[in-house]
Chain A
Amino acid sequence: DIQMTQSPSSVSASVGDRVTITCRASQGISSWLAWYQQKPGKAPKLLIYGASSLQSGVPSRFSGSGSGTDFTLTISSLQPEDFATYYCQQSDSFPLTFGGGTKVEI
């Protein structure tokens, strides 16, 4: 199984900050990586797929990059509604696996 490791597990930030979350795969997954945002009590929401493709309707302050084993999710200017937990997920091979999550908090 491909292990997905996110860092940091939590980050404290302020409105307007630039926030970067990293995700590392235990083996190469090309660009088969997605990022999701989850708020408390809600279902996850797709932000980025294919490592860097922005899902329709997602604000452009979210961006993704990387390929192979190392990936990043960047929020260019943190907004109040962005405080949430973020997960990466690989779709290179079964079983599909998620990172452990990164909580972005004030």
Chain B
Amino acid sequence: EVQLVESGGGLVQPGGSLRLSCAASGFTFSDHYMDWVRQAPGKGLEWVGRTRNKVKSYTTEYAASVKGRSTISRDDSKNSLYLQMNSLKTEDTAVYYCVRVLLYCSGGNCHSTFDYWGQGTLVTVSS
């Protein structure tokens, strides 16, 4: 059974830093791209960023709203995904989900979707 368990959320002051972790099990973690998606209280879903796998040199992508302030990394030996967030703003307050990426292909093109989600961890940025 695929499981994604996030941790590390909490209350942090504006300008502070936080590192979120996601422990994965039930699948070959190293094969998969992994993403972070967040959801502000009472709001919709916002994609945060991606780390690809070793085959793709662990390259990353970020949303403009977090680029330059956040770093996504992974440790395949520990089946773990991380999100380091710095210079936190009140608008970063959200539930952060760790998400497994499913790659699918059609007509020679491959794209992605999110097939498994963790339960989320709440980050509150407030003074």
Contacts and interface: CB of A to CB of B under 8 A. Distances in A.
B33 to A, nearest CB: 11
A85 to B, nearest CB: 9
A46 B115 contact: yes
Contacts of B117: 43-45
Nearest to A43: B117
Interface in A28-84: 30-32, 34, 36, 38, 42-46, 49-50, 53, 55
Contact of B113 (A1, A34, A43, A99): A34
Given A55-B115, A91-B111, A92-B111, A44 B102 contact: no
Interface residues of B, number: 22
Interface residues of A, number: 28
Contacts of A50: 104, 106, 111, 113
Given A89-B45, A98-B46, A43 B119 contact: yes
Nearest to B35: A96
A98 B106 contact: no
Interface in B41-72: 44-47, 61, 63-64
A42 B113 CA distance: 18
B9 interface: no
B55 to A, nearest CB: 19
Contacts of A97: 47
A16 B109 CA distance: 38
Contacts of A36: 45, 114
17 contacts: A31-B106, A32-B111, A36-B114, A42-B119, A43-B118, A43-B120, A44-B45, A46-B102, A46-B114, A49-B104, A50-B106, A53-B104, A87-B44, A91-B112, A95-B47, A95-B63, A96-B47
Given A34-B114, A89-B45, A96-B47, 7 more contacts: A30-B109, A34-B113, A36-B45, A44-B114, A49-B104, A50-B111, A99-B44
